[in-house]
Amino acid sequence: MTKSRTALGSLRGGRVDPGLVAGFAVLAVLVLLSATTSVQLIAVFAAGAVVASLLTTARRTAYVGIAAVGFGLVATTWHDQSSALDFFVRIFLCALLVLVAVQAAALRENREGRLERMTVIAETAQRAVLRSIPTAIGSVGLSARYVSATAEALVGGDLYEVAATPFGVRVIVGDVRGKGLEAVQTAAAVLGAFRAAAFTEPDLAALSRTIDETLGRFMEDEEFVTAIVGEFHGDRVTLANCGHHPPLLVHGREVTTVDTGEPTLPLGLGSDPGLTEHAWPEGARMLFYTDGLVEARDRTGEFFPLDDYAAEIGEGSVEDALDRLVDRLLAYAGHRMNDDLALVLAESESH
């Protein structure tokens, strides 16, 4: 159904355009002042169009501008016409400022359109890289979240993947040095190497070395990826730490940082991690995370106190637990993330 549109009643989803309202409101105030005082504000009537140009489309800015020029012509009857040239100059300046406002609105629209298209492209690329993971594989319940530091789009270099392999449920969580589309490209290479080797390489350390060798073929010397690779098999979990934060293990109300030994070089720099094996009791949860979780700061510069909220990771479903953790993080950081964030929460269900 076609919606009727007027200058003052242009609706978006049933709501009046706030830019249009603001523009006409400013114009109304200026016209009222000009009509009730001796001050000649004809040229200033264009301020309504200028305000509208900051908030709405070029077309709607033009509506306000046309009204401004029209009221300017009418305003010649409100004051003594001591000089026809004077009023002509005022009308000319008003019209000129309106044209500038309309052009500014058009440029802003064009720029925002390009940004929106780039955002869609970037988000599509990101979602192609970070595929959704199943809620459970065998006896391992799973949930994942991604929060980008880029305000305009879901774009960044943090990564995660889970695979059901002949050797157990394998997971990788990593953090590419850098941001933007280049980081997404590197993350895609890591995940591609993981997906290719996870099903054929029985040894977790060898799997990590395979990913490292793949990255070494195209990454520059100063580029790298910190990552942790895990394998869940029955009541045991094996971890290979490639320069990354060790995961948290939550069992009941008890929270421990898993000892993954001395972290080795990140992927892409000749990583050759050792393996550590840990108990994986029924009901336990393991949180894998990237820098964005522990390096988020509040307004005073204090880091996010993960220890204060870690026990809550064991409460509710794995989905609810991650939602709650992300909400607390964003509230603490004032919804301003300085780094991307990837989270994977695994739960040991009945074996």
Using the 3D structure, point to which of 65, 94, 121 is the last residue of a domain.
Answer: 121
* Domain-located, residue 183: yes
* Domain-located, residue 115: yes
Residues near 257 by Cβ (< 8 Å), separated by ≥ 6?
246, 247, 248, 249
142 and 263, same structural domain? yes
- Cα-Cα-Cα-Cα dihedral sign, residues 316, 158, 269, 172: positive
Query: What is the SS3 assignment for 340?
Result: coil
142 and 88, same structural domain? no
Task: Please list the helix, strand and coil fractions of the chain in percent, rounded to the nearest 5, in that order.
Answer: 45, 20, 35
150 and 58, same structural domain? no
244 and 344, same structural domain? yes
* Domain-located, residue 3: no
What is the extent of the structural domain holding 114?
11-121
338 and 192, same structural domain? yes
117 and 135, same structural domain? no
Interval 274-309: pLDDT, tens: 999 999 999 999 999 998 898 888 888 889 999 889
Interval 48-94: pLDDT, tens: 899 999 999 999 999 999 999 998 888 877 665 556 777 788 889 99
* Domain-located, residue 4: no
- Residue whose structure tokens are 């909220």: 309
What CA–CA distance (Å, rounded) separates 53 from 61?
A: 6
* Domain-located, residue 195: yes
* Domain-located, residue 2: no
Instruction: Look at 81-90, 116-125, 176-185, 299-308 and tell me which has the smallest mean pLDDT.
Output: 116-125
213 and 116, same structural domain? no
Interval 86-103: pLDDT, tens: 778 888 999 999 999 999
Using the 3D structure, point to which of 80, 97, 121 is the last residue of a domain.
Answer: 121
Longest dimension (CA), the chain: 95
Give the total number of structural domains in the chain. 2
242 and 159, same structural domain? yes
Global pTM reads 0.67
From the list 310, 174, 295, the residue with the least C-alpha distance to 230 is 174
Using the 3D structure, point to which of 98, 121, 144 is the last residue of a domain.
Answer: 121
What CA–CA distance (Å, rounded) separates 145 from 31?
A: 53
Nearest 5°: CA angle at 239, between 236 and 243?
Answer: 165
286 and 187, same structural domain? yes
Interval 212-269: pLDDT, tens: 998 888 776 678 899 999 999 989 999 999 999 999 999 988 999 999 988 789 998 8
164's tokens: 């059901």
54 and 32, same structural domain? yes
DSSP structural state of residue 262: S
